[in-house]
Amino acid sequence: MSIQESLKIIDKGEIALLEWDLIGEKVNKLSSPVMTRLKELVSELKTSKYKAVVLISRKPKIFIAGADIEEIKNLKTQEEFEPVLKEAHSIFNLLEDLPMPTIAAIHGACLGGGCELVLACDYRIASDDKSTQIGLPEVKLGIIPGFGGCVRLPRVVGLQAALDIILAGKSVPSDKARKIGLVDEVVSAKELEERALAMAKECVLGQRKKRQKKYSAKGAMNQVMESALGRALVFNQARKLTLKESKGFYPAPLKALEVIQKTYGYSNREKALNTEMNGFCKVATTDISKYLIDLFYMLEDVKKQTGVDKPEVKPLPVKSMGVLGAGTMGGGIAYVAADKGIEARMKDISNEALSIGFKAARSIWEKKMQRRRLTQFDFEQKMNHISGTLDYSGFKHMDVVVEAIVEDMEIKKKVIGETAKNCKENCIMATNTSSLSVTEMANGHPKPENFLGMHFFNPVDKMPLVEVIRGEKTSDVATATIFDLAKKMGKTPVVVKDGPGFLVNRLLVPWMSEAIFLLQDGMSIEKLDRIYSHKFGMPMGPCRLLDEVGLDVAIKVVKIFYKSLGSRMEIPKLMEKLEGNTRLGKKNGKGFYLYDSKGKQLSVDKSIYQELGLEPNDKVDEKEVIERGIFRMINEAAMAMLEEKICENPQQCDLAMIMGTGFPPFRGGLLKYADTFGSEYIVQELEIYKSRYGERFTPAASLVNMAKTNKTFYTRPIKVQNAESTSLGIQPTL
């Protein structure tokens, strides 16, 4: 890459056009070589003839994507981070202090360091293209803005708007950016360069001047917030909301808040930036940040993958999709397809059933309209992508058909065979089953090579994971097609082999069933769920999740697993008492918890203890509660991955568990979490629990082999932590 050609000054008379286009890269990013080149050019501009400067990108849909994350990942200590941050501060300060006005012409993603760069400019003009998003997503990587974002954004947009962006790691579209004062004007992409140069001409003529870099209050509400009382109120409320959202597990948002609170109003820029630098170093050196960066790379890798190992295999184009079954699940699948411009045609046996599917999709878009994330025109356009039928009309043109009917093998095979007769020869068909064998189901299809699993998680519009399940005869083309389709639908696909529960449910069911054993052993519902949600970091406790899934469904699935996997999927006696009970969970308002008519969780239904003959004493300690559930998951993961090859590597397993179950990202994933203990410790604990509670804790042969040399799932060395503090999920000190 020629860095001189990638970043250069184009002479426009009295105006300098600072042009970005990193040769050989898809995006512009602020790597060390780029920052060095930027310093050269800004230093040159300082003593040049130019009276105005315009910054512009030549990348389609990208302004500057941010700093080089690989460089951040490779830095380990505060001593390594500080010179990098100080140099970035000096470069951006140099830009900010140029004697002539500077204008950033923003088209496409302007994130992280890119956003911090334009904040050092005097004026910002953005295109109205949907790709134009401006923001500071650093907290999602476990860090805080470190190139001046915590200092400059509040002075540009005011305290409230800055906290909203920084603490949540948000990016905003150009219209919102204009409303909060982040950009000065919004124009079409075609007009952007012309208008930016015209704005520069206004500077040359003296109609626009260098802006005074002072903190300013915009509007009556922000003026109130500028008072000492107003600031205290804002920071107090922001801290409460941040703690509620993060449960205290993620230090970055709280550290960002602390930095902003300290620096807001500082007149000494150097002091403010040093405070930000110290805050950045505190969080960037944590394991949490490294884990979140690893997750970022896993997600980026999925974007590059095709689902098969053969580069010559290409996915078939998918412009239209049939959906068999128009219930809540089918409607959700139709929604995520239509939302991305794919024609979705639902088929069911009655108009009433079809209306449920249409309602499921419509309600999601209506909520987006209420939040002003969708216009009425966009809403109507998207609804036009969904149609319904009681027969197979239109299915001859479908590229893919997804089956989402009742979980009954014989019914599914019959419907699949019937549907195949009404589709074109190369149509790919996928089942959304969560537990039935894809290989067996493929026997209902005349071309089993064109059949596989496409397992969405509920609710479909919110859950990011899709398991792409290969049956024994599934072709590479079919796999690549569904993998690519999932990505087009905005999902994260993971390819797994057919087997009981595939991957996610295979690992999740032992955790949920162990929760029932723990209730049998005296744990209260409240304490059990609180340990897993507030101590360990799961999005919800196992009892609450069982209610969400449906107690009747959960019991049925555990029985299926027991039949397939034997003693390690032992059925708790308490489940027999729950079977046939009127408690179904959230869907009928009564499970372990009570729910109102809108499905909102109320309180634990205390009467369930008497019904089930339980007398809670909470004598099982937190360490055992967590280890019994999580170590069973780890044990099952070892069998599924190392012995049965359900998935290929620990990255796939961890990505699936994070995206499919909400396994705490700050712990790196199930197998990274396992590596913090070491396999020797896990096997020792499983043996202890086996002696107390039975065969379901029998260590997997693969895990026992790993324990002989304390081998980890990931090849790189991982520091083995104190088992007790790790398992209890001790919250970070802030």
Q: Identify whether 459 is preceded by a cis peptide bond (ω within 30 of 0).
A: yes
Do 479 and 468 contact (CB within 8 A), yes or no? yes
DSSP letters of 280-302? Answer: HHHHHTSHHHHHHHHHHHHHHHH
Q: What backbone torsions phi and psi does residue 455 show, to the nearest 5 degrees?
A: -90, 105
What is the spatial distance between Cα 495 and Cα 498, in angstroms, rounded to a whole number? 10
CA atoms lying within 13 Å on the CB side of residue 69:
23
Long-range contact pairs involving 548-553 (C-beta distance under 8 Å, separation at least 24)? 548/585, 548/586, 549/512, 549/585, 550/584, 550/585, 550/586, 550/587, 551/578, 551/581, 551/583, 551/584, 551/585, 551/591, 552/579, 552/584, 552/585
DSSP letters of 198-265? Answer: HHHHHHHTTSS-PPP------HHHHHHHTSHHHHHHHHHHHHHHHHHHHTT--HHHHHHHHHHHHHTT
What is the spatial distance between Cα 269 and Cα 120, in angstroms, rounded to a whole number? 12
How crowded is residue 298: how many other Cβ atoms within 10 Å of its Cβ? 18
Alpha helices in 475-592 (DSSP H): 476-488, 504-520, 525-530, 542-549, 551-565, 573-578
Instruction: Given the residues 107, 397, 455, 534, select the one marked as catalytic.
Output: 455
Do 615 and 598 contact (CB within 8 A), yes or no? no
Angle at 668 between CA 662 and CA 672, to 5 degrees: 120
DSSP letters of 4-23? Answer: HHHEEEEEETTEEEEEE--T
What is the spatial distance between Cα 548 and Cα 539, in angstroms, rounded to a whole number? 12
Going by C-alpha positions, the residue among 228, 224, 230, 253 that lies closest to residue 240 is 253
Say how far residue 280 (Cα) sits from the centre of its chain: 22
Q: Look up residue 301 and give its two tokens.
A: 């890798």
**Residue 513: helix, strand or coil by DSSP?**
helix
**Residue 88: helix, strand or coil by DSSP?**
helix
Do 345 and 321 contact (CB within 8 A), yes or no? yes
How crowded is residue 339: how many other Cβ atoms within 10 Å of its Cβ? 21
Q: Is 455 a catalytic residue?
A: yes
Residue showing tokens 């042009």: 19
537 burial type by CB count under 10 A (0-12 exposed, 13-18 middle, 19+ buried): buried
How crowded is residue 670: how many other Cβ atoms within 10 Å of its Cβ? 25
Which run of H or E residues covers position 276?
helix 269-284
**Residue 455: helix, strand or coil by DSSP?**
strand
Q: Look at the chain and count its residues.
A: 734
CA atoms lying within 13 Å on the CB side of residue 435:
20
Do 98 and 42 contact (CB within 8 A), yes or no? yes
| Catalytic annotation, residues | 455
